[in-house]
C-alpha cells in the first residue's frame, strides 16, 4: 500500500488562509471588466442627433402638409 500524498502547498485552491490562519473562501475573485461600447440610449450625443433629425423631418412634413392642403395643422385637426 502506498501512503496518501500530502497536498502540495503551492497548489492553487479556491480558498486561502490569511496571516491569522482564518479561512478565506472567497480569495479568488472574478476578473472585472468594463464594456467600452458606445451607449445608444439616454443623454448621449447619438440621442441628441436622432432627436434633432426627427424634429427636422416632422417640421418639413408639417410644411408640406400645409402647402398641399392649404390648411394649417389646427384647421385639419379641428375638422376631424
Ordered per-residue pLDDT tens for the chain, 80 residues: 565 565 555 556 666 677 787 777 665 666 777 776 666 667 788 889 999 999 999 999 999 999 999 998 888 888 87
Q: Is residue 6 part of a domain?
A: no
Q: Is residue 1 part of a domain?
A: no
pTM to 2 decimal places? 0.46
CB distance 40 to 46 below 8 Å: yes
How far apart CA 3 and CA 37 sit, in angstroms, is 56
Identify the pLDDT of residue 9.
Answer: 57
Domain hosting 47: range is 40-80
Q: Is residue 53 part of a domain?
A: yes
Q: Is residue 29 part of a domain?
A: no
Identify the pLDDT of residue 7.
Answer: 58
Identify the pLDDT of residue 52.
Answer: 96
How far apart CA 52 and CA 56 sit, in angstroms, is 6
Q: Is residue 14 part of a domain?
A: no
Amino acid at each position: 500500500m502506498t501512503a496518501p500524498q500530502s497536498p502540495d502547498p503551492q497548489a492553487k485552491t479556491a480558498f486561502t488562509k490569511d496571516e491569522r490562519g482564518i479561512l478565506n473562501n472567497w480569495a479568488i475573485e472574478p476578473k472585472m471588466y468594463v464594456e467600452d461600447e458606445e451607449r445608444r440610449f439616454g443623454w448621449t450625443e447619438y440621442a441628441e442627433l436622432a432627436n434633432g433629425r426627427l424634429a427636422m423631418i416632422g417640421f418639413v412634413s408639417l410644411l408640406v402638409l400645409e402647402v398641399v392642403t392649404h390648411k394649417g395643422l389646427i384647421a385639419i385637426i379641428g375638422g376631424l
